[in-house]
Amino acid sequence: MSEIKANGNLHGHDLTDIPVLNPGDWFGKTWLIEIGGSYSSLYLIVEANSMSDAIDELADNAKYGHLIIVEENDLGDYPEDDRHYGPSGQVLDLDHLMAYGQECAEIPFPCRYHGDGLPDEGVLPTEFEHVDAD
């Protein structure tokens, strides 16, 4: 199957073609992660049980994890007492990361998945595993 993208709405602004990390891996519990917080923020949808788990999934992601992982030669800029660690022990820089979603909701950040083999109108993340996308 091709890459899954999502469309959603954040504070009245339509977001389209957002890459989805691990679609179908956590029963459609989607979180919106914003990296940057400026004019050119990167948005990602991550399926995870909680907001914290979504950040862990991002940290371990081969394509996007480097955006929040501190490089070894920069570790001196991050005092030991103030460090945030990822699931694989990597030091994370979360200063420019925002996460959106409502805890205890079936779909914490409402969106629809789109991709080859999916209906033109897309599917809810909770319906993704039930769609025959072959």
- pLDDT value at 8 more than 90: yes
Is 133 among the domain residues?
A: no
d(CA 28, CA 41): 24
The pTM of this model reads 0.87
The domain total for the chain is 1
What is the residue-averaged pLDDT of the chain?
A: 90
Is 124 among the domain residues?
A: no
**What are the pLDDT digits (tens) for 36-94?**
866 789 999 999 999 999 999 999 999 999 999 999 999 888 899 889 999 999 999 99
Is 132 among the domain residues?
A: no
- pLDDT value at 131 more than 70: no
Is 9 among the domain residues?
A: yes
Q: What is the DSSP letter of 71?
A: P
Segment 3-15 shows an average pLDDT of 94
Is 126 among the domain residues?
A: no
Is 123 among the domain residues?
A: no
Residues making up the chain, counted from first to last: 134
Is 127 among the domain residues?
A: no
Is 61 among the domain residues?
A: yes
d(CA 124, CA 24): 11
For 19, the domain range is 5-117
